[in-house]
Amino acid sequence: MTPRPPPEWTILYHGPLSFKGRGEFLRLMLEDAGVEYENSSDNLYGPTGVMDMFRGTPEDVDQDVAPFPLLFPPAIWHRPAQGDEVIVNQVAACLVYLGENLGYAPKSAAERARADCIMLNALDYISEGRRSFHPVEDKMSYKDQKEEGDKASKEFSKKRMPIYLHHFNKVVKKSGSHKPVAGGDHVTYADFALFHVLDASVVQFNTEFYDMAWDKCEVPALKEYYLWMKDRPNLERYFKSDRCPPFAGDSMM
């Protein structure tokens, strides 16, 4: 029997796939494009793993085991039938690479500058939100610092989250709630980055514990934009499928 060839696209991320995490940024683009991919956590950890931050010692890191050195997940691994094999980590780098290959790249230097600005601000937002659930120690689980995390995340939802959302509302109004956020004629990686952090905001903070923070935030253009992106046909199918993992529920992840 002929061995099955490796998939063209692989997302390397923590497994088993029980929560969205940062890998979801990548999944949204692949799902919207309708291309096949797989999620894998194979060989991420330990002295011979591909993620240098999880290998243990500087001497272990010196060993070259991946097609290109990786530090943290998620990573995208692209093995096209023709052309160079590419493997990179960092959410922003992955989104830009996916955009170039799947038809979600900005068309001009000005549009690219706006797309990068929006994407990076969205990533800053979700990183700050996640940290609010881990105020004592970033590597410690939320459950082990729940009292402090609940206090800090409530503070985030009241003070910092509205600043970010009002900023994004102003950004969306520049192009319109039913148009690509970077101002071009098609969606880009910036749209998927912004949509995902909004989705995380709705799921994480629109609860009684957080005083329905999303509902109470007066950002009408942004809320329309969120629904516009959520209704994209391939994304809608993905959200209803068993391929779509849930949010962890304790860190915007």
Q: Same structural domain for residues 234 and 122?
A: yes
Q: Same structural domain for residues 167 and 232?
A: yes
- Model confidence pLDDT, tens digit, residues 152-185: 999 999 999 999 999 999 999 999 999 999 999 9
| pLDDT at site 84 | 93
| pLDDT at site 1 | 61
Domain boundary among 80, 102, 124: 102
Task: Point out the residues of the chain with pLDDT beneath 70.
Answer: 1-3
Domain boundary among 60, 75, 102: 102
Q: Same structural domain for residues 86 and 137?
A: no
Residue 45: which residues within 8 A CB-CB, separation 6 or more?
A: 51, 54, 55
| pLDDT at site 40 | 97
Dist. CA 35–CA 104, nearest whole Å: 13
| pLDDT at site 253 | 95
Q: Same structural domain for residues 97 and 125?
A: no
Q: Same structural domain for residues 116 and 146?
A: yes
| pLDDT at site 16 | 86
Q: Same structural domain for residues 178 and 158?
A: yes
Dist. CA 54–CA 60, nearest whole Å: 10
Q: Same structural domain for residues 186 and 82?
A: no
Q: Same structural domain for residues 193 and 115?
A: yes
Chain mean pLDDT for the chain: 96
Please give the distance of CA 218 from its chain centroid, rounded to a whole number: 24
CB 150 within 8 A of CB 141: no
| pLDDT at site 36 | 96
Kindly write down the DSSP assignment for every residue of 117-177, as one continuous string: HHHHHHHHHHHHHHHTT-SS-TTS-GGGGHHHHHHHHHHIIIIIHHHHHHHHHHHHHHH-T
Q: Same structural domain for residues 147 and 223?
A: yes
CB 48 within 8 A of CB 42: no
| pLDDT at site 6 | 80
| 3-class DSSP assignment, residue 116 | helix
Assign residue 47 the CATH number of its domain: 3.40.30
Q: Same structural domain for residues 138 and 204?
A: yes
Residues of the domain holding 33 = 9-102
Q: Strand 9-12: give its sheet, edge to edge.
A: 38-40, 9-12, 75-78, 86-89
Q: Same structural domain for residues 49 and 156?
A: no
| Residue 23 domain flag | yes
